[in-house]
Amino acid sequence: MLQKRILFITVLIFMMMAGLLGRLMQIQLFQAENFSENNVNLIKESVRQRTHELILDDGRGQFLDRDGNPLSFEEKSVLVIFPFIKNMDWNSSEVAKILNISHRDLINQVEASREPVLAGGKDPLLLTEQQAENINQLQIPGVFAVKKKILPEHPPAGQFIGIYGENEEIFKTRYPDKDWRNKAVGLSGLEKTFDEFLQAESETKFVYHVDGVGNPLFGIDVKYAGQANPFFPLEAKTTIDQSLQKEIEALLDEHHIQKGGAILLDVKTNDILAVASRPHINSKDPFLDEGSKNMMFKQLIPGSVFKTVVAAAAIEEGIVEEKDQFRCDLDIRGNPAERNLGRLNFEESFARSCNRTFAELAGSLMEKDPMILENYARKLGLLEAVSWQGDVFQLSGFKQFEHDPGRIFADNDSRKDRNFIAQTGIGQQEVRLSPISVANMMAAIARGGEKMTVRAVSEIQYGDGTTMASFDRQQPDGERISPFAAIKLQQLLRKVVTDPEGTGHMMNDLPYQVAGKTGTAETSVIHEGQQLHHKWFAGYFPFDDPQYVLVTVNMDVPGDQGGVNPLFADIVQMIYGQKQTEVDHAVPSG
């Protein structure tokens, strides 16, 4: 009996040891690189536990402005401090003196550190070139002044460039064959659409090994692990003029635009020169509120800006003549109008934004063809995607950016209702257009009806600055308005400014001749007993030689507040001033 028990216990111990040995072989030999259902790489994890590192550059590609200067980041000198120096005698007083900080503050930060840190913590000290040079001349092990990519709290064109961050679910959906391991992925804006080009190949970092209690394992040697491939990371060269972008951002804040923005296009190329949106991105929680949304790419009620489409259709279809008179003393329902404009002809109606005229014209047009307003909106580039799109390497139908589509009617029933049609003719009811689409329309009119896709990025560059892929200018398929109609629209848009009673007359004394259209769109939002509006001005300049299209929008403001004509005017003045400065610098003195 005793022998049987001994045999049983021996076999049991042997089986347990065999099981443990098998488990050990599984961990160390068979599944060392893909252990468990989570596919954990145990070799990498063991190295990571013995390693302290400080990442200087996550290796993700970045965005440049049209001149090749950093747009989405700044490269600054910072001070890196490794914790092992707390056990050394080092020249801390001289370092504090160079940094112009308290010696005690520097020592406290070092004493509190367990891993490599940046001097200054979460808001690191930014060093001058001279400070960085002086620090490195001290040759203190574990104390280095290095270049680091810094992401500003409110970068230029923040919503346009977009947001990126760590999201395992999105990463694995987008790249099922790639190893995630804390890699960032584009979540909005150009960061999202260009994500495949911007994915990190490797990081730039300082590395050193530690034992179980955090002491240096191989002495105080610190390794610098940099980008091994000179062609990466890739960089996207945008069409943004950074100087204009920053000035427009400042003017939005100066005019207290809480929600809305401005977009500036180059008429000849249809490139985006600047695009600014409010509210600002919440740096602590980007998706907490509307700050992450680019309002210039969102569907908005356009109000009287849409009268441009009705005017184009009326001209092309020949349903209006110069001698025609309209009862602008009445509103669209035939009741006395709040703004009694008297009897006006077609041009005067457009310049002074008579609702009655365009409600009647919309009704006449819809009797001819229930799809006519959509057809002309499409001819003006308002309904289709305006972004550059095409095949780029293995990416078929690649679009540079995403924006909300335009809409005229939500359903067919609305086309049969005369009241709905009247409201539609003045840009209300179910009409929705994005500011970038409106800018695209104005650019087409300024070019005589010629449509082009909108470019946000001109090329993808390798890390050494050579071109990997370029995005040539495109003309989209589809119909366009006639040159005759374009010329008539140009005249109408100009009269909005030149007519002493025009809604844009305040622009008449600007250094550039402006043509454009105002819009005051009623929303369904009531705040503190007041109906809120979207205020628009969309136009181009100079009139005789169009160079710029500008659309400004102030959203959700009371009817008697928040007009954007002054903002539009100040942006025009700013651009003129910059151009004059460039001319003055180009002309040699004496």
Average pLDDT on 479-483 reads 96
For residue 224, name the pLDDT band (cuts at 50, 70, 90): low
Q: DSSP state, 295? A: G
Choose the weakest-confidence range: 92-101, 400-409, 414-423, 492-501: 92-101
CA-CA distance, 192 to 529, in Å (whole number)?
A: 40
Please indicate, yes or no, whether residues 248 and 205 belong to a single structural domain of this protein: no
Choose the weakest-confidence range: 18-27, 135-144, 196-205, 253-262: 18-27
Are 207 and 226 a contacting pair, CB within 8 Å? no
DSSP string, 467-516: EEEE------SS----HHHHHHHHHHHHHHHHSTTSTTGGGGGSSS--EE
Give the bridge partners for 205, in sequence order: 55, 225
The CA dihedral of 476, 481, 486, 489, to the nearest 10 degrees, is -110
Average pLDDT on 131-151 reads 88
Average pLDDT on 401-414 reads 94
pLDDT at 239: 98
CA-CA distance, 116 to 80, in Å (whole number)?
A: 7
Residue 20 lies in a domain: no
CA-CA distance, 551 to 439, in Å (whole number)?
A: 6
Pairing of strands 530-541, 515-527: antiparallel
For residue 463, name the pLDDT band (cuts at 50, 70, 90): confident
Please indicate, yes or no, whether residues 325 and 199 belong to a single structural domain of this protein: no
Are 200 and 233 a contacting pair, CB within 8 Å? yes
Taking CA atoms, 544 is separated from 410, 446, 487, 494, 518, in Å, by 38, 10, 12, 10, 20
pLDDT at 55: 76
Show the tokens assigned to 308: 């441009």
Please indicate, yes or no, whether residues 349 and 274 belong to a single structural domain of this protein: yes
Please indicate, yes or no, whether residues 319 and 336 belong to a single structural domain of this protein: yes
Please indicate, yes or no, whether residues 518 and 435 belong to a single structural domain of this protein: yes
Give the end of a domain, one of 238, 253, 269: 238
Average pLDDT on 267-283 reads 96
The H-or-E segment that residue 389 falls in is: strand 389-392
Q: The tokens 């070092």 sit on which residue? A: 110
Q: 444 CB contacts (<8 Å, ≥6 apart)?
A: 380, 381, 450, 451, 452, 480, 481, 486
Q: DSSP state, 28? A: I
Q: What is the 3-state secondary structure (H, E, C) of 205-271?
A: EEEEEECCCCCECCCCCCEEECCCCCCCCCEEEECCCHHHHHHHHHHHHHCCCCCEEEEEEECCCCE
Residue 510 lies in a domain: yes
Average pLDDT on 166-189 reads 86
Are 140 and 150 a contacting pair, CB within 8 Å? no
Please indicate, yes or no, whether residues 99 and 204 belong to a single structural domain of this protein: yes
Residue 512, pLDDT above cutoff 80: yes
DSSP string, 29-84: IISSSSBTTTTB-HHHHHHHHTEEEEEEE----EEE-TTS-BSS-EEEEEEEE-GG
What residue spans of 166-205 are helical by DSSP H? 168-174, 189-193, 195-198
Please indicate, yes or no, whether residues 223 and 256 belong to a single structural domain of this protein: no
pLDDT at 47: 45
Please indicate, yes or no, whether residues 506 and 541 belong to a single structural domain of this protein: yes
Choose the weakest-confidence range: 212-221, 338-347, 490-499, 563-572: 212-221
CATH number of the CATH domain containing 177: 3.90.1310
Please indicate, yes or no, whether residues 233 and 247 belong to a single structural domain of this protein: no
Residue 6 lies in a domain: no
- Count CB-CB contacts under 10 A for residue 575: 23
Which of 468, 467, 64, 464 has the alpha carbon at shortest distance from 230? Answer: 464
Pairing of strands 184-186, 164-166: antiparallel
- Our answer to whether residue 93 is catalytic in this structure is no
Domain that holds residue 517: 242-283+297-548+557-584
CA-CA distance, 564 to 55, in Å (whole number)?
A: 44
Phi, psi of 300 (to 5 degrees): -135, 160
pLDDT at 274: 99
Q: 319 CB contacts (<8 Å, ≥6 apart)?
A: 361, 364, 365, 368
Show the tokens assigned to 404: 């909300």
CATH number of the CATH domain containing 491: 3.40.710.10
CA-CA distance, 387 to 272, in Å (whole number)?
A: 10
Burial class (CB in 10 A: 0-12, 13-18, 19+), 269: middle
Q: Is the dihedral of CA 297, 298, 303, 308 positive or negative?
A: positive
DSSP string, 335-384: SBPSS---EE-HHHHHHHT-HHHHHHHHHHHHHH-TTHHHHHHHHTTSSS
Show the tokens assigned to 7: 């045999």
Q: What is the 3-state secondary structure (H, E, C) of 529-554?
A: CEEEEEEEEEEEECCCCCCEEEEEEE
Choose the weakest-confidence range: 120-124, 178-182, 222-226, 576-580: 222-226
Residue 328 lies in a domain: yes
Average pLDDT on 344-370 reads 98
CA-CA distance, 548 to 263, in Å (whole number)?
A: 10
Pairing of strands 515-527, 164-166: unpaired
CA-CA distance, 516 to 549, in Å (whole number)?
A: 9
CA-CA distance, 439 to 454, in Å (whole number)?
A: 10
Show the tokens assigned to 103: 């010696």
Taking CA atoms, 183 is separated from 43, 292, 457, in Å, by 19, 21, 24
Q: 18 CB contacts (<8 Å, ≥6 apart)?
A: none
* Catalytic member of 304, 387, 434, 458: 304
Show the tokens assigned to 588: 């040699």
Please indicate, yes or no, whether residues 322 and 302 belong to a single structural domain of this protein: yes
Residue 81, pLDDT above cutoff 70: yes
Please indicate, yes or no, whether residues 562 and 486 belong to a single structural domain of this protein: yes
pLDDT, one tens digit per residue, over 247-272 is 999 999 999 999 999 999 999 999 99
Residue 463 lies in a domain: yes
For residue 50, name the pLDDT band (cuts at 50, 70, 90): low
Residue 43 lies in a domain: no
Residue 152 lies in a domain: yes
pLDDT at 80: 87
Residue 484 lies in a domain: yes
Q: How many domains is the chain built from? A: 2
pLDDT at 121: 80
Please indicate, yes or no, whether residues 260 and 154 belong to a single structural domain of this protein: no
**Residue 92 three-state SS:** helix
